[in-house]
């Protein structure tokens, strides 16, 4: 299996930056990448490549041009405004009943961002751009005939919508990979948190089936999306499936729900499958609340890999740093020898 990464991920590191006199604390740190990469190397999952540059066009297939312009220039604009280097954090938020799109920089901060937990620092754009390029490189690998590929994306992407960011996510890597593929696409999001950005991007699109298993939005982030009733709209009605799960869910119950999702995906007859893989479902994850074991994660990987569909795996969350390598290895091993049998 082919694996793609980018060393540019280190350019995005908000840990400890000064926000109005306080050091910023986050779980989304570069060490996550190091842990995953070493786990993959030790377990010899596959060939590891640096992502290639596919340019901005495939990112524009998912994201709003004004939003991308904002992300690209926000740090510089903020620094110019304050006359000193300063990370971008919104002060106000545009509840989406707002009646106008803001022209001012201050207005844009709260229009494009939906939380304060994802500051934009000097290297955020470049890191997010290259994270998307990892996803595109992995999509290209399956387009060329690989049965499975993996993108070690950092920062993650599934909370980013066409024109909003939050939850550590700036560009939606899974959506960018899905749009780069041809035919019918199924996206399965197994991150602990609901993939609200991905859901919104494809909500009216019958050519992309979105299935998500996640913490119930009454219990955890992102709170405003992820209920069972959200089933798509217009032509996309009936192509969005959410399975909000209780806190403390264990392997067997989780696997039962996963089975249901995999049945939907098989029935949909997708040409390609994109997995938003978040390892924050692991027991003890500081950001999670499920009790999935390493063996459980291996079984989840095994069952997904058994589907006869070329599969692109996109890294999302996972914050138990010392266990991320073993999580990635156990989840990915079943994909290592995956083959698509043609009849
Ligand atoms: Zn997550």
Across residues 106-127, what is the average pLDDT?
Answer: 94
| pLDDT score for 98 | 78
Ligand 1 centroid, distance to 215 Cα (angstroms): 9
Q: Residue 12: CA atoms inside 13 Å, Cβ hemisphere, count?
A: 30
Helix axis angle, 173-180 to 124-143, nearest 10°: 40
Indicate whether 303 pLDDT > 60. Answer: yes
Ligand 1 centroid, distance to 248 Cα (angstroms): 15
Is 159 an annotated catalytic residue?
Answer: yes
Indicate whether 244 pLDDT > 60. Answer: yes
Ligand 1 centroid, distance to 316 Cα (angstroms): 7
Other Cβ atoms closer than 10 A to 72? 17
Across residues 287-311, what is the average pLDDT?
Answer: 98
b/e code 118-153 from CB counts within 10 Å (16+ = b): bbbbebbbebbbbbbbbbbbbbbbbeeebbbbbbbb
Indicate whether 343 pLDDT > 60. Answer: no
pLDDT band, residue 94 (cuts 50/70/90): confident
Query: What pLDDT, in 10s, does the model give residues 184-225?
Result: 999 999 999 999 999 999 999 999 999 999 999 999 999 999
Which residue of the set 12, 63, 158, 159 is catalytic?
A: 159
C-alpha to C-alpha distance for 155 and 169, rounded to whole angstroms: 6
Ligand 1 centroid, distance to 205 Cα (angstroms): 24
| pLDDT score for 342 | 61
Ligand 1 centroid, distance to 190 Cα (angstroms): 9
What are the φ/ψ torsions at residue 96 (nearest 5 degrees)?
-75, 20
Query: What pLDDT, in 10s, does the model give residues 39-55?
Result: 999 999 999 999 999 99
| pLDDT score for 173 | 99
* Residues with C-beta atoms within 5 A of ion ligand 1: 191-193, 278, 280, 317
pLDDT band, residue 92 (cuts 50/70/90): confident
């Amino acid at each position: 299996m082919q694996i793609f990464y980018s060393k540019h991920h280190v350019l995005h590191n908000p840990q400890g930056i000064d926000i109005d006199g306080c050091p910023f604390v986050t779980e989304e740190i570069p060490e996550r990448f190091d842990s995953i990469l070493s786990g993959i190397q030790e377990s010899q999952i596959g060939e590891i490549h640096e992502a290639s540059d596919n340019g901005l066009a495939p990112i524009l297939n998912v994201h709003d041009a004004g939003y991308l312009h904002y992300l690209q220039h926000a740090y510089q604009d903020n620094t110019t405004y304050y006359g000193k280097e300063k990370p971008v954090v919104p002060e106000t938020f545009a509840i989406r009943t707002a009646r106008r799109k803001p022209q001012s920089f201050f207005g844009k901060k709260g229009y494009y961002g939906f939380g304060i937990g994802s500051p934009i620092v000097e290297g955020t754009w470049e890191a997010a751009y290259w994270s998307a390029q990892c996803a595109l490189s992995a999509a290209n690998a399956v387009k060329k005939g690989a049965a499975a590929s993996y993108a070690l994306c950092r920062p993650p992407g599934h909370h980013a919508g066409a024109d909003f960011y939050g939850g550590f996510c700036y560009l939606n890597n899974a959506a960018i990979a899905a749009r780069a593929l041809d035919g019918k696409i199924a996206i399965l999001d197994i991150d602990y948190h609901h993939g609200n950005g991905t859901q919104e991007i494809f909500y009216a699109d019958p050519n992309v089936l979105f299935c998500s298993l996640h913490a119930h939005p009454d219990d955890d982030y992102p709170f405003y999306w992820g209920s069972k009733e959200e089933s798509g709209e217009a032509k996309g009605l009936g192509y969005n499936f959410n399975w909000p799960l209780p806190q403390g869910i264990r392997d067997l119950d989780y696997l039962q729900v996963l089975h249901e999702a995999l049945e939907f995906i098989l029935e949909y007859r997708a040409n390609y499958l994109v997995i938003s893989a978040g390892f924050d479902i692991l027991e003890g994850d500081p950001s999670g609340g499920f009790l999935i074991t390493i063996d459980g994660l291996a079984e989840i990987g095994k069952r997904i890999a058994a589907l006869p569909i070329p599969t692109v795996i996109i890294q999302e969350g996972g914050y138990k740093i010392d266990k991320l390598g073993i999580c990635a290895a156990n989840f990915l091993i079943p994909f290592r020898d995956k083959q698509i049998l043609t009849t």
